[in-house]
């Protein structure tokens, strides 16, 4: 089995995360937003959250390519269950990374509409994972995924890393 090409990864990043982290916030942004206090502290916190989310996102995309042999898009899913790196702590660190990117962006721009988009993004993805993604993972990875799902939370990271032991 071979991983999808770099072009497919780039295509899927541009179609999905780029759209939700740049295009939609651009369309939602209103510089006259009166609700978030403008301060250097708010901007710096936003920047730190966005950079941390970006790093998490990039690392998980790398894991999808190198270990999962798939892209982040549902039309080119991973062929192998990834339980390395941040996936040992929570089941959806890639989406967490994107959520942090949007949240950081909202704080940097002092934009409640972008922050509201971050919340909507989180809710949409939670529903998608519950009703679509988790069923697909079960079909593709069977009992290994069931064991992983039982021990690794969807969003809030566990304190100790999970290891799938074949018994």
For residue range 111-159, what is the model confidence (pLDDT) as tens digits? 999 999 999 999 999 999 999 999 999 999 999 999 999 999 999 999 9
Return the pLDDT at 54.
97
Residues 6 or more apart in contact with residue 90 via CB below 8 angstroms: 96, 152, 153, 154, 155, 156, 157, 158
Task: Please name which of 133, 131, 129, 107 lies closest in space to residue 118, comparing C-alpha atoms.
Answer: 107
Task: Please name which of 50, 68, 51 lies closest in space to residue 105, comparing C-alpha atoms.
Answer: 50
Residues in the chain: 167
Return the pLDDT at 166.
60
Please tell me the distance from the alpha carbon of residue 128 to that of residue 1, in angstroms, as a whole number.
27
The DSSP symbol for 86 reads G
H-assigned helices in the chain: 6-15, 17-18, 24-28, 40-63, 93-108, 112-128, 134-151
Return the pLDDT at 87.
97
Which two tokens mark 9? 């990864």
Segments in the chain below pLDDT 70:
1, 166-167
Q: Quick one: 126 exposed, middle or buried, by C-beta within 10 A (0-12, 13-18, 19+)?
A: middle
């Amino acid at each position: 089995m071979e991983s999808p090409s770099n072009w497919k990864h780039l295509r899927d990043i541009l179609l999905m995360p780029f759209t939700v982290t740049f295009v939609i916030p651009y369309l939602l942004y209103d510089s006259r937003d009166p609700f978030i206090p403008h301060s250097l502290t708010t901007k710096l916190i936003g920047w730190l959250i966005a950079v941390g989310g970006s790093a998490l996102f990039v690392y998980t995309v790398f894991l999808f390519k190198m270990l999962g042999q798939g892209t982040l898009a549902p039309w080119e899913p991973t062929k192998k269950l990834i339980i390395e790196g941040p996936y040992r702590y929570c089941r959806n660190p890639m989406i967490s990374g994107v959520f942090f990117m949007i949240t950081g962006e909202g704080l940097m721009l002092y934009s409640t509409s972008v922050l509201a988009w971050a919340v909507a993004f989180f809710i949409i993805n939670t529903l998608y994972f519950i009703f679509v993604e988790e069923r697909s993972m079960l079909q593709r990875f069977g009992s290994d995924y069931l064991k992983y799902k039982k021990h690794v939370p969807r969003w809030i990271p566990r304190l100790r890393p999970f290891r799938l032991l074949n018994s």
